[in-house]
């Protein structure tokens, strides 16, 4: 079983059930882009280097996630609309541990 199911609520409030491959070294930001769940140019702006916060997500399920890197933590310190559950999608790699993950995309920066 190489795909997992994750639930992504887009910026309009619609929840999408999507299949995400665990064998392609993909991260959550790339999954969101691949299903075109956020407007091009408003997500993954830095390409996935934790150098912008355009892929900020709120984690809505109680999955155990990999610890935040220093880069991700400090980028979130300068992001807007941050909550306790905020993570950068580009730093969450798709593994079988994330089966059933539920996330909501943070608003786009104005």
Partner 1 sequence: MIKTDILIIGAGPTGLFTVFEAGLLKLKCHLIDALPQPGGQCAEIYPKKPIYDIPAFPEILAGDLVTNLMKQIEPFQPGFTLGERAQTIEKQDDGTFIVTTNKGTKHHAPVVAIAGGLGSFEPRKPPITNISDYEDKGVEYIIRDPELYRNKKVVIAGGGDSALDWSIFLATVAESVTLVHRRNEFRGALDSVEKVQELKNAGKIELITPAEIIDVVGEIKVQGVSIKRGAEVFNKACDHFIPLFGLAPKLGPIADWGLEIEKNAIKVDNTLDYQTNIPGIYAIGDVNTYPGKLKLILCGFHEATLMCQSAYQRIFPDKRYVMKYTTVGGVEGFDGSKKEAPKAVVKSID
With CB under 8 A as the rule, give the number of residues binding partner 1.
Answer: 21
d(CA 56, CA 4): 21
* Min dist. Cβ of residue 86 to partner 1 (A): 11
Choosing from 81, 85, 95, 96, the residue that interacts with partner 1 (CB under 8 A) is 81
Choosing from 25, 41, 64, 84, the residue that interacts with partner 1 (CB under 8 A) is 41
Relative to beta strand 3-9, strand 102-105 is parallel
CB atoms within 10 A of CB 7: 15
Which helix (H) or strand (E) element contains residue 76? helix 70-76
Choosing from 51, 61, 69, 83, the residue that interacts with partner 1 (CB under 8 A) is 51
Sheet containing 102-105: order of strands: 15-21, 3-9, 102-105, 56-59, 86-88
Q: Using the rule CB under 8 A, is 24 a contact of partner 1?
A: no
Q: Using the rule CB under 8 A, is 42 a contact of partner 1?
A: yes
Structure tokens belonging to residue 89: 């999608």
The DSSP output letter for 93 is B
Binding segment for partner 1 (CB under 8 A), chosen from 9-17, 56-64, 69-77, 87-95, is 69-77
- Contact set with partner 1 (CB under 8 A): 39-42, 45-46, 49, 51-52, 54, 73-75, 77-78, 80-82, 107, 109-110
């Amino acid at each position: 079983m190489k795909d997992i199911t994750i639930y992504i609520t887009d910026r309009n409030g619609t929840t999408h059930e999507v299949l995400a491959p665990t064998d392609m070294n993909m991260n959550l930001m790339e999954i969101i882009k691949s299903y075109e769940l956020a407007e091009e140019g408003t997500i993954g702006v830095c390409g996935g280097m934790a150098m912008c916060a355009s892929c900020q997500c709120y984690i809505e399920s109680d999955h155990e996630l990999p610890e935040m890197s220093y880069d991700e933590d400090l980028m979130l310190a300068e992001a807007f609309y941050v909550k306790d559950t905020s993570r950068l999608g580009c730093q969450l790699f798709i593994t079988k541990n994330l089966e059933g993950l539920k996330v909501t995309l943070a608003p786009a920066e104005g």
